[in-house]
Structure 1
Amino acid sequence: MSSGSSAQVIRLHTGGAPGGDPAREADAGDADRDASVVELPTAPASESAADGADDPLGRLLTFLARRLTGDYAVDEFGFDPELTDTLILPPLKLLYDKWFRVAAVGGNNLPVDGGALLVGNHSGVLPIDSIMTALAVRERHPQRRHLRMLGADLVFKAPVLGTLARKTGQTLACNPDAERLLRAGELVGVWPEGFKGVGKPFSARYKLQRFGRGGFASAAMRAGVPIIPVAVVGAEEIYPKIGDIKPLARLLGLPYFPVTPFFPLLGPLGAVPLPTKWTIEFGEPIPTDGYGPEAVDDPMSVFNLNDQVRESIQQMLYRRLARRRNIFSG
């Protein structure tokens, strides 16, 4: 795991993500997780990721050997850093480097160690922006830390997607899990616009939607960690949403069923994202360690911090858009 994280654990002869209802209560979830793992000292994921970096075949063989013996590390949330670094990130890195040509700036604003909450804008019909942000953290951080993403319950209800999300370090977007990760010294990512941001029409691009009641702000305040505003430019145009087939969305249990200039008209071909040029900016940290215990329970203090973060991201977006020449060259 990343620097400053809690102790890793090895799940003997399983290798699976924690079972049970992803919308569990915190206490019940703790009991389930504790019952299914055995704590053993292991090397940090950053070290295992570096092993064999110049020998992909050797690294793959080592990975397969560990899978067969059950000698690999997962944490209490089901995060499998070796699986993530060996099988999941490499193909996504091609998307990051070659398709979207992501330029990540402001990496010096990410803490070298200790916890922090990264809060970003959300867009693009599919939440690809969160995945690219996680890759940007992994690429730009000097310790190559992982970003632990908080996802909607819809993600964890999907049979395959939910398991994959757990294995790549994601967990349910709820305050108990967020605070637990932050206190363990993790970098945690949240996108407060949720489906309102991802599914907004093309006409509303780069206009932040409501951030809710500030649950992320109170989590950061309780953990005493800084908030890093994150602005993503380029994701708004990968699937220009011009319509929404609401009856079909209700039938499928989805928050929306998008219509773009190419989907569903061109079928699967229309699901290929446009190769826009992306910029991901990590803004200056907003400290929260100055808030006292009474401020966390004060709705106005939480609202003010929530609004400060939202305004910071909106201004970062405006500045980046003012510098952009066009959507394909940046």
Structure 2
Amino acid sequence: MSLLRPFYEKYFRVEVKGIENIPADGGALIVANHSGTLPLDGLMMQVAVHDNHPHGRHLRLLAADLVFMLPVINELARKAGHTLACAEDAEALLERGELVGVMPEGFKGIGKPFGERYKLQRFGRGGFVSTALRTGSPIVPCSIVGAEEIYPMIGNAKTLARVLGIPYFPLTPTFPWLGPLGVVPLPTKWTIQFGEPIPTDGYPPEAAEDPMLMFNLTDQVREQIQHTLYKLLVQRRSVFF
């Protein structure tokens, strides 16, 4: 947290809204949009929850396999409380009463071109809804504005990405042309808004196996996040202020 907080407070100047929608105790699943070429949005969301929630709650992020295969990053992710993005880990955390963060767009979200910014990608197969239903945990939609512009992705060197074994190799106005300097993110102004929770504890146990219900709830969460993104963009005065 101490390493991330200067970026959160001084660099991205994150404004947080709707923190009261995160429960004071018990398990909850926070579902957010994903963007920015590098997954800094999840880390800023983690600081936002801890530093703004009146009970100082910790957010445990579900991260992709690739995160735990990278040296150094793997160790840092585990020390920060993150775990593998799988249903078993998510369910165990929720049943222990923890806050769990998930970004269902995955690499499709953070690796999308700049021309598609703030347009939500497909939310996988709705596995996060099934996990919430099995544990009776509320789903809290979260919309993040500002992350899309930190590394405007204008191209993707797909052949190089395949050689390196990574989902994409971004080309931005500064990377790789400026070398290490191109890795510095642009100092955009961020807003993170937590929406009203969607309860799941009123459904019967077999609801987690109902594909139509999972589709409808997934679509509800996605639409709520997208609607809030558009609203925040209309309210935004500038990308940087």
User: Which of residues 22, 26, 37 in structure 2 aligns to 1:110?
Assistant: 22
Residues 54-110 of structure 1: CA distance to partner in whole angstroms, max 9, x if unpaired?
xxxxxxxxxxxxxxxxxxxxxxxxxxxxxxxxxxx1121000000000001111111
User: Which of residues 108, 130, 135 in structure 1 aligns to 2:47?
Assistant: 135
- Amino acid corresponding to residue 101 of structure 2 in structure 1: G
Separation (CA, whole Å) in 2 of partners of 1:91 and 1:114? 27
Partner-residue secondary structure (3-state), 1:231: strand
Is 1:255–2:167 an aligned residue pair? yes
Partner-residue secondary structure (3-state), 2:3: helix
- Amino acid corresponding to residue 119 of structure 1 in structure 2: V
Shift of 1:294: 2.0
Shift of 1:167: 1.6
Is 1:293–2:208 an aligned residue pair? no
1:175-254 equivalences under 5 Å are 175-254=87-166
Which residue is 1:168 aligned to?
80
Moved more, 139-148 or 120-129: 139-148
Partner-residue secondary structure (3-state), 2:2: helix
Shift of 1:197: 0.1
Partner-residue secondary structure (3-state), 1:169: coil
1:61-100 equivalences under 5 Å are 89-100=1-12
Separation (CA, whole Å) in 1 of partners of 2:60 and 2:16? 18
User: Which of residues 279, 296, 320 in structure 1 aligns to 2:191?
Assistant: 279
Residues 254-310 of structure 1: CA distance to partner in whole angstroms, max 9, x if unpaired?
100000011101011011000000000000000011111221111111111111100
Shift of 1:143: 1.1
| Corresponding pairs, count | 241
Separation (CA, whole Å) in 2 of partners of 1:107 and 1:297? 31
Residues 210-261 of structure 1: CA distance to partner in whole angstroms, max 9, x if unpaired?
0011000000010101000000000000000000001111111110000001
- Amino acid corresponding to residue 145 of structure 2 in structure 1: V
User: Which of residues 297, 301, 310 in structure 1 aligns to 2:222?
Assistant: 310
Separation (CA, whole Å) in 2 of partners of 1:127 and 1:264? 18
- Amino acid corresponding to residue 319 of structure 1 in structure 2: K
Separation (CA, whole Å) in 2 of partners of 1:195 and 1:246? 14
User: Which of residues 13, 22, 29 in structure 2 aligns to 1:101?
Assistant: 13
Gaps of 5+ in 2: none
Separation (CA, whole Å) in 2 of partners of 1:184 and 1:324? 38
Partner-residue secondary structure (3-state), 1:118: strand
Shift of 1:162: 1.2
1:33-44 equivalences under 5 Å are none
Shift of 1:159: 2.3
Moved more, 162-171 or 237-246: 162-171
Separation (CA, whole Å) in 2 of partners of 1:207 and 1:114? 31
Separation (CA, whole Å) in 1 of partners of 2:130 and 2:185? 35
Separation (CA, whole Å) in 2 of partners of 1:143 and 1:295? 32
User: TM-score normalized by structure 1?
Assistant: 0.72
Which structure is larger by alpha-carbon Rg, 1 or 2? 1
Partner-residue secondary structure (3-state), 1:319: helix
Separation (CA, whole Å) in 1 of partners of 2:193 and 2:121? 19
Gaps of 5+ in 1: 1-88
- Amino acid corresponding to residue 159 of structure 2 in structure 1: P
